[in-house]
Structure 1
């Protein structure tokens, strides 16, 4: 009897994993329709009809039945709330509200102190980024890069040739950087105090670096990334944008990186950072995941998934355990390091040349 129950539970688990994509794609639908913003703009829970009537760019009457079924699943997943207040006559209408989860998916009605995961959610669930996941078995059997197998070229080349993808990617990276940066600036205040200059290696459009410089105006900031990336970067006070190749050289200063690269490439980048920082006072600040495969922390499970994101999207990139970080830091010329935990998916790794 116990064996039958365990087997049935196992079957149920496989059905769940088979359709896990339904959760992310139903939620993508809600983000595309800006449902979190619609509810937020009303100042409180609203009816399905109110949501439907506020969906932007709708050319005909929305299919409320379809919307109701999607919202039903998202309520069960605790993305939205649903309750039915009675008007006293026995009539009631379901009112849908936000939760702590859906507040992270606001796009247009953010408060001054709020950040959003909507851009990276739309990025990671886009067919361009999902299709490489279907190439994992080929990568195991044949070797090679999943993104290249799916799109015929690596992600950086694809971005340089496709302005729409480049914007999608940069928007996703920028929103993530802002969230992580908020945790850094609150928990790592003293870490930037003695730096005169700071280079963000692979800094995208420079939004994260600009916030550091704003909070520490004594720092001269250099945002360093590929030429096609910095070409679209806005101007920020105290920040200069420099296009180049981190495998060739890095502007002199202190630097923070990394995870899109395999061990060999990381060591090359670290060696270039080692050349670019002062011998005694310099340090490299790495903002990245430190994997704890057996951990039960808030983000430990997501860290393992991010490692597979690297398989899907990067050219040999990976997330690393502390021992793996220690190894490549030593090979890159950094004999000492310190890990600083922050309330975020990532940690801070300070690396010192001696």
Structure 2
């Protein structure tokens, strides 16, 4: 083999080894991220209003004796991953490295009521309760079944019902992502709601305690909102102007409306169950001018979009945490919608992980 070809092959082999090492230890990155969230590092820096030293970060940690060396090593990796910045200040009297926020670490703020945050989701997804099912991915490939059940002896909803601490952790994580996604929906889909006639009704199917539909009505007060979920869920929901709460079962029937809104509902379920839910929506919509607004990931297995790879990871998350749930490609969404009685749809990109899928019964 010519020398040049040998060098190319050796370089390729070495790069292959590099990639395996990186993926093998990628869990360390998420653990370092979780550590920063638990220590409120982003909030400590943010409270000063400018980059600060390691000692100043340590002074803000809720501990009488923080290990500064450990903190320095965690920060070193997170700086490398561009979660934080590090630099030597210009001032002659200060020679210590100072650490600042980036566009990434701003999403880790826990003490800000105005900035959207993913901190609660980091704490939930990287908790041992939700990490344990990932260790059963091989078993699922070998024999099927539900990874969460293999890890904990029951499905995630039952585990949450029996474990208040987990229920709170999980709900906080879901709430923060819901807020992030909803802000993107309301900013990128203004005309979609504004175009609804005065007095039109939008039902949030599986809407939890009603936060999402309340924000929709608040932004578009000419429409009326119905928050639809299981009776024990809506019984604890707060009152919102322009929103009524209705308890029921989406697998049986869904309240009549001009628009049905389903945000991160369908990815929890198999195709058969999704078709059942969508058919119930179809029955409850008017023949003309009715539509459903689905907020879900649209997979791009070969795509190069900002969230293309994250979508594939989220699809594996559905194996780890749900019973039959999955993320879907454009082709899979088209087939699912057509089988449920929605022959026409369009996909609208928004500045978030999921997209909007607007579908019509005719």
Please classify the TM superposition score into its range, dividing by the shorter chain length.
over 0.9
Distance 1:259 1:26, change over 3 A: same
After the TM superposition, list the runs of 4 or more consecutive aligned residues in structure 1 that deviate by more than 6 angstroms: none
The answer as to 2:339 corresponding to 1:335 is no
Deviation larger for 242-251 or 288-297: 242-251
Q: Deviations over 1:84-110 (max 9, x none)?
A: 125436x61011100000001101034
Offset of 1:343 from its aligned partner?
1.7
Q: For residue 263 of structure 1, what is the aligned residue in structure 2?
A: 271
Q: Distance in 1 between matches of 2:231 and 2:130?
A: 22
Distance 1:245 1:22, change over 3 A: same
The answer as to 2:109 corresponding to 1:106 is yes
Q: How does 1:198-347 map to 2 (within 5 A)?
A: 198-253=202-257, 254-257=259-262, 258-347=266-355
Q: How does 1:10-159 map to 2 (within 5 A)?
A: 10-56=16-62, 58=63, 60-85=64-89, 87-88=91-92, 92-110=95-113, 112=114, 114-159=115-160
Contact 1:40–1:109, Cα closer than 8 Å, also in 2: no
Q: Distance in 2 between matches of 1:168 and 1:246?
A: 25
Runs of 5+ consecutive residues of structure 1 not aligned to the other structure = none
* Secondary structure of residue in 1 paired with 2:218: helix
Q: Distance in 2 between matches of 1:199 and 1:166?
A: 25
Offset of 1:171 from its aligned partner?
1.6
Q: Distance in 2 between matches of 1:124 and 1:231?
A: 27
CA-atom RMSD, angstroms? 1.5
> Normalising to structure 2: TM-score of the pair?
0.92
> Normalising to structure 1: TM-score of the pair?
0.94
Q: Deviations over 1:63-85 (max 9, x none)?
A: 11111110111111110011112
Runs of 5+ consecutive residues of structure 2 not aligned to the other structure = 1-6
Offset of 1:228 from its aligned partner?
4.3
* Secondary structure of residue in 1 paired with 2:217: helix
* Secondary structure of residue in 1 paired with 2:137: helix
Contact 1:174–1:205, Cα closer than 8 Å, also in 2: no
Deviation larger for 37-46 or 179-188: 179-188
Q: Deviations over 1:232-289 (max 9, x none)?
A: 4333222223333211111221212231111001000001111111121211111111
* Alignment coverage as a number of residue pairs: 349
